[in-house]
Amino acid sequence: MNTGEVERVDTATQILDVAERLVQVRGFNGFSYADVAAELKITKAALHYHFAGKAELGEALVVRYATRFAEALVGVEARSVDVRARLDAYADLYLDVLREQRMCLCGMMAAEYQTLPAPMQDAVVRFFDENERWLVGVLEKGRKEGTLTFAGPPNETARMIVSGLEGAMLVARPFGDITRFQSAARHLLSGLQSAPTRVPRS
């Protein structure tokens, strides 16, 4: 890769970084190319060189965010085989975003779903589908081991977890209090844990 190609990649990354933060704070419809251009001190024409339009930029944002999230889930699996620890680590991925005074990128876009271009809508749906699929694997493993208990099929519980964590982020945001999220996440996940087996006294 020559110097010019490196510079183009770096500029594209910077654009994505700024746009991601703006979406996580304001929403996708809450920022413009002019906002990104002003922050990076580049022209709007330079933005269009890397991303033809805001729809293309938005789709790239979701794809990058989903890829990073998927990589984080691989890391969660590598660190622990305990399903309860995996669920706690999953909730911590949301907590880490909230600590930066941001919201889940795809959660913000889901709130604006009807206004998004079709490719972005599809990318947002894929993000949640992939998260639910990962959670289903954890839940099935926990049920088989007897370490997790829940009623109904695991995909319904997976949807409950994603919805609960996204909602907990939204409710905690206006208070600027991450303990509200932590409390909600703890109660949500503790309801899935099987009670420890008691050894009867002789």
Q: What is the pLDDT of residue 193?
A: 80
Q: What is the pLDDT of residue 195?
A: 53
Q: What is the pLDDT of residue 7?
A: 54
Angstrom distance (rounded) from CA 69 to CA 61: 12
Locate all alpha helices (DSSP H) within 51-117, ordered by sequence.
54-79, 83-99, 105-111
Q: Where are the domains of the chain?
A: 54-190
Q: What is the pLDDT of residue 202?
A: 40
Q: How many residues does this entry show for the chain?
A: 202
Q: What is the mean pLDDT of each run of 10 residues along the chain (202 residues)?
A: 56 96 97 95 94 96 98 96 96 97 97 97 98 98 96 97 98 95 96 62 44
What are the phi and psi torsion angles at 175 (to 5°)? -90, -15
Q: What is the pLDDT of residue 9?
A: 58
Angstrom distance (rounded) from CA 123 to CA 150: 29
Compute the half-sphere exposure of residue 50: CA atoms within 13 Å on the CB side of its CA. Answer: 25
Between the alpha carbon of residue 136 and those of residues 81, 129, 139, 161, the distances in Å are 15, 10, 5, 10
Residues 6+ apart with CB under 8 A from 39: 18
Nearest residue to 129 (alpha-carbon basis) of 165, 162, 151:
162
What are the phi and psi torsion angles at 111 (to 5°)? -65, -25
Residues 6+ apart with CB under 8 A from 91: 165, 185, 188, 189
Whole-model pTM: value is 0.89
CATH architecture of 54-190: Orthogonal Bundle (1.10)
Residues 6+ apart with CB under 8 A from 98: 169, 172, 173, 178, 181
* Pair of tokens at residue 163: 């919805």
Nearest residue to 87 (alpha-carbon basis) of 166, 180, 186:
186
